[in-house]
Structure 1
Amino acid sequence: MNAEQVFGVSKSVIVRGALLIWLAVVYTALWGDLSVANILGGLAVGALIIFALPLPRMPVTGQLSLRALAELTVVSVYYAMESSFQIAWFAIRPAPPPVSGVLRVNLSTRSDLVMVLCTDLLNLIPGTMVLEIDRRRCVVYVHVLDVSSEAAVQRFYETTRRLDRLLVAAFERTVSR
């Protein structure tokens, strides 16, 4: 069997099918009514988007690791919740606002896809916002809400290193032969 095929179907067909289903789910959720008409409408709009506005081909190497992806999901949700509580505490505590700053993060990835996923995850964590991406050097500059102590800065770097490591493990693992 060809490496580009899974169960006799090409990977591009599988990706387009998954994208079509995802777009239909989003369309139905935006309408807020689970009906046959909305599902069919979502499929029609999704098909129109896929064929009228095709995404550029992005080289993806390696193999998806479901274990690393599951761990990445759990860790990302934990970091988002922890940061939300931290921001809530900053809002109600009887002290001045924390010192914020911009930190440089060196990513270990060489994949554009993984770099985008990493910056998306960093943006989802409350109190952080990616300001600039240097694709050539695999560096992102992130505005961080709390850099008031060395411990807070180290926590941020540990968070980003863990997310980067899990993303690489989930999406960039090379296929062994």
Structure 2
Amino acid sequence: MSSGQPRGVRRDTIVRVGILAWLTVVYVALWGDLSTANLLAGVVVGALIMVALSLPRVPVSGRLHPLPLVEVVVISAYYALESSLQVAWFAIRPAPPPVSGVLRVYLSTRSDLVLVLCTDVLNLIPGTMVLEIDRRRCVVYVHVLDVGSDAAVDKFYRTTRRLERLLVDALERPTGRRSAHRHHLRR
């Protein structure tokens, strides 16, 4: 390494700059006006948030793989759109409300980052809400709007399994990935 800094210090700096940039983008988006004053205020507010509300570090041991990450974004957007249409249909259809329930999902990842991102994506999908995370056993309890049929439950588990696999592919090291033959999700 020619820079003289340890790899962890450089990575930590890159992560902090990325967080500051993201907070700045959110600030400017909330104001709805891209101006120099809003940009500078966004940087200041972002820095204050990072100092005053610092979060514990999530250990990241993988590498970012751009193509699977793009696939995660596209598939997540598709699931969110599909679920939004399903929720809208449930709201206007001339039938009783769907049967809802809480499903237990066993995740195979041991990465805190993948676990958090997987639960975040599940929360973004209309009709689902993560209620509890058991980190020790890697179990997530999710309220699902439609569990009225085996097909609906199986679809939820397939969706969750696919999201987890895509996140593992996007964020974990190739040597640290679980075997593709292993059953990733149990009921």
Q: For 1:1-177, list aligned pairs within 5 A.
A: 1=1, 4=7, 10-174=10-174
Bigger Cα displacement from structure 2, 17-26 vs 80-89: 17-26
Is residue 109–residue 115 contact of structure 1 (8 Å, CA) maintained in 2?
yes
How big is the alpha-carbon RMSD for the aligned residues of Structure 1 and Structure 2?
Answer: 1.7
Identity of aligned residues (%): 71
Regions of 4+ moved over 4 Å = none
Amino acid at match of 1:78: Y
The one-letter amino acid of 1:60's match is V
Rounded to whole Å, the distance in 2 between the matches of 1:89 and 1:53 is 40
Distance 1:55 1:175 in 2: 29
- Unaligned runs of 5+ residues in structure 1 are none
What count of residue pairs does the alignment treat as equivalent? 173
Secondary structure, counterpart of 2:102 in structure 1: strand
Give SS of 1:102's match: strand
How far apart, CA to CA, are the structure 1 residues paired with 2:175 and 2:76? Answer: 25
Counterpart of 1:131 in structure 2: which amino acid?
L
Shift of 1:67: 1.1
| Cα deviation, residue 125, structure 1 | 0.4
Distance 2:99 2:78 in 1: 23
1:119-149 CA-partner distances (Å, limit 9, x unpaired): 1100110000111110001000101110111
Q: Which runs of 5 or more structure 2 residues have no equivalent in the other structure?
A: 177-187
Report the alpha carbon displacement of residue 175 of structure 1 after superposing the two structures with TM: 5.9
TM-score (norm 1): 0.92
